Amino acid sequence: MPAIVIVGAQWGDEGKGKVTDYLAREADTVVRYQGGNNAGHTIVVGGSTYRFHLIPSGMLHRDKTCVLGNGVVIDPEELLAELDALAAQKVDTSRLIVSSQAHYILPTHQVLDRQAEARKGAAKIGTTGRGIGPAYQDKVNRCGIRLSDPAHPERLRQKLAAHLEEHRADLAGCDWTLDRLLAHLTAAHGRLRPYIGDASMVVNDVLDRGGRVLFEGAQGTLLDIDHGTYPFVTSSSPTAGGACLGAGIGPTRIDRVVGVAKAYATRVGSGPFPTELATDPVGAKLRERGKEFGTTTGRPRRCGWLDLVALRYAVRVNGITQLAITKLDVLDEFESLQVATAYKVNGTLTREFPTAIEDLEVAEPVYETLPGWRASCSAAKTWSDLPAEATAYVARLEDYLRVPVALLSIGAERSATFSRLALWEPL
Ligand code: IMP
């Protein structure tokens, strides 16, 4: 089974980094295919904590090649800071390859991000402020700066001048002059040059040789620019199809799509969230038990019950073949649990996730109540060690979604993930 795509099946923060880290043990190459340093995950190994925003967490495995594909947007300072932090923790980073076709996030993109949010006022998206949207906007508008550009200094100067001209009105008063931008990129590029290459060629070569490649999506399905809760979405394609575009592989290369979902639901930033428990104490309990604060911005995450309607939609738009369920232990102390199995939208009952934001905003979840287990999952080493109600909870999910749960995670440590199916093997 040479290629597995890992996708977030909710609104991001599902624990994809942990699942990637687990599956990376048996992979040759780990590839990130979209997003930028709006993402973030923390991996705990043997008591040491590693924080990632851009670099695939596969870097922690000594023998893996890690790739940032063409679909990623790169803040050079952030990438260098992450490389330095990993080097300080004695992690060898020489196995990183960054696509020459990826785009740079410029400091001016961050200025534009903040301005766009301020202009929207109460209707703001609640972005991470990292300049993600404006960088992708320039890419699509065909005036972005690619990682290959600084190798041609005169052309780079022209492109940066065009960028400043394009955004002249919005950047008036900002102190990023052409010379300063040029110096900023040139200095960063000098250090990043050894990592820059033809990432698509590297990935396809590994696949041609029968190697195993793990494609790691950032954010989640419901933040996808096309399939998410538009306009409250990110500006890239976290769904499985994004792996082809953002890594330069064909769809025929993908063998398996693993959807990662928390055992409950969270969302950061604005936008509809039907099962949110904004004022209910259960929401606060989930936040506290699940330590639901953003890795990138520190913002408290909105919390709610598991939404099977949304998950079923994620199964459809990604072609999810297996699920990984994370943070089951967060549900340890509840008498009973609720899962949304349908919505009522303007009086009509539906099991389909509405594609129009106006319908989603008024969707009322219809809940099924399941027994809690009021016991600790954390000591479990295998599926059969779990409390019976916990296995019943997971079985209900499988039954509703018609997708098997292959991985289960019950704690922060690497050892707290166990597998029910060997995902790299033919099933
Ligand atoms: P942007 O990606 O910074 O433009 O933010 C757009 C939306 O996506 C906001 O609601 C963010 O909170 C959300 N978002 C972006 N990255 C992540 C992530 O890694 N986890 C969860 N939410 C995210």
Neighbours of 91 (CB within 10 A): 17
pTM of the model: 0.96
Are β-strands 306-307 and 302-304 bridged in parallel, bridged antiparallel, or unpaired? Answer: unpaired
Quote the pLDDT of residue 41.
Answer: 83
Instruction: Name the percent of the chain lying above pLDDT 70.
Output: 100
Neighbours of 229 (CB within 10 A): 24
Residue 128 has pLDDT above 70, yes or no: yes
Average pLDDT, the chain: 95
Q: Helix, strand or coil for residue 206?
A: helix
* Distant-in-sequence, close-in-space partners of 66: CB < 8 Å, separation ≥ 6: 29, 30, 31, 55, 56, 58, 59, 95, 96, 97
Residue 33 has pLDDT above 80, yes or no: yes
Residue 268 C-alpha to ligand 1 middle, in angstroms? 7
Helix (H) or strand (E) holding 336: strand 336-345
Residue 226 has pLDDT above 80, yes or no: yes
Residue 263 C-alpha to ligand 1 middle, in angstroms? 20
Q: Helix, strand or coil for residue 227?
A: coil
| 155's tokens | 């052309």
Of 200-209, 324-333, 416-425, the least confident: 416-425
Mean pLDDT confidence for 396-418: 92
Mean pLDDT confidence for 14-25: 92
Pocket around ligand 1 at a 6 A CB cut-off: 12-13, 38-40, 125-128, 130, 132-133, 218-219, 223, 232, 234-235, 268-269
Residue 362 has pLDDT above 80, yes or no: yes
Quote the pLDDT of residue 21.
Answer: 87
Do 327 and 266 contact (CB within 8 A), yes or no? Answer: no
| 388's tokens | 């019976």
Which band of pLDDT confidence, cut at 50, 70 and 90, is reported for residue 79? very high
| 301 burial level (CB within 10 Å; 0-12, 13-18, 19+) | buried
Query: Domain locations in the chain?
Result: 3-100+195-256, 104-192, 262-419
Which band of pLDDT confidence, cut at 50, 70 and 90, is reported for residue 47? confident
What is the C-alpha to C-alpha distance for residues 390 and 376, in angstroms, rounded to an integer? 10
| 42 burial level (CB within 10 Å; 0-12, 13-18, 19+) | middle
Q: Which of 41, 103, 109, 167 is catalytic?
A: 41
Mean pLDDT confidence for 392-413: 95
The per-residue pLDDT for range 186-214, each reduced to its tens digit, is 999 999 999 999 999 999 999 999 999 99
Candidates 3.30.390.50, 2.60.40.730, 3.40.440.10, 2.60.40.2470; correct CATH number of 3-100+195-256?
A: 3.40.440.10
Residue 373 has pLDDT above 70, yes or no: yes
Q: Phi and psi dihedrals of 120, rounded to 5?
A: -75, -20
Residue 427 has pLDDT above 80, yes or no: no
104-192 CATH fold = Adenylosuccinate Synthetase, subunit A; domain 2 (1.10.300)
Side-chain half-sphere exposure of 228, counting CA atoms within 13 A: 29
Do 323 and 401 contact (CB within 8 A), yes or no? Answer: yes
* Distant-in-sequence, close-in-space partners of 382: CB < 8 Å, separation ≥ 6: 418
The per-residue pLDDT for range 241-251, each reduced to its tens digit, is 999 999 999 99
Of 153-157, 221-225, 377-381, the least confident: 377-381
Residue from 75, 117, 233, 234 to probe ligand 1 pocket by mutation (most atoms less than 8 Å from CB):
234
Do 221 and 260 contact (CB within 8 A), yes or no? Answer: no
Q: Is 332 a catalytic residue?
A: no
Taking alpha carbons only, the member of 127, 134, 132 closest to residue 297 is 127
Class of domain 262-419: alpha beta
Neighbours of 33 (CB within 10 A): 31
Mean pLDDT confidence for 395-418: 92
Of 48-52, 183-187, 256-260, 287-291, the least confident: 48-52
Side-chain half-sphere exposure of 322, counting CA atoms within 13 A: 21
The per-residue pLDDT for range 298-322, each reduced to its tens digit, is 889 999 999 999 999 999 999 999 9
Q: Indicate which atom in ligand 1 lies nearest the CA of residue 113.
A: 4
Quote the pLDDT of residue 1.
Answer: 59
Residue 207 C-alpha to ligand 1 middle, in angstroms? 31
